[in-house]
Amino acid sequence: MKEKIVLVSCPFDGNDCKEHRLVINRDFYASQNYLVNKEYSRSILALKNAFHKTNELEKSTCVNCAKMFRTSITQSLENIHDDLKYMTSGFFGNRRFHPSLILAVNVLKEMRNEG
């Protein structure tokens, strides 16, 4: 599994967030796999789980990394949202993906309120 979140520099060698990064990367990887299989709702929920895991990084030394992790997760969800919006709009839009679009909108709102 390729890690989406990789530490480049940390005064504590990433020991304070090792378990968190493991879960965040696992959820990122799952999200990408769900996207490949067009399981958009599951992909969104995997990103939501990863986002919530970053909120557990409360040590002062982890604040900046947690913020960066949340930004990366939010950007991934925004990309999914944009894709879903495109796929569901227009004359040939596929309404089948509309529930996933609504989920993406709601999860993005939730992330922005927490972020």
Half-sphere exposure of 42 (CA within 13 A, CB side): 11
pLDDT (0 to 100) of residue 10: 67
**What residues does each domain of the chain span?**
18-114
pLDDT (0 to 100) of residue 29: 93
Give the span between the Cα atoms of 84 and 71, in whole angstroms. 20
pLDDT mean by block of 10 residues, the chain; 115 residues: 64 73 91 95 97 87 84 95 90 83 96 85
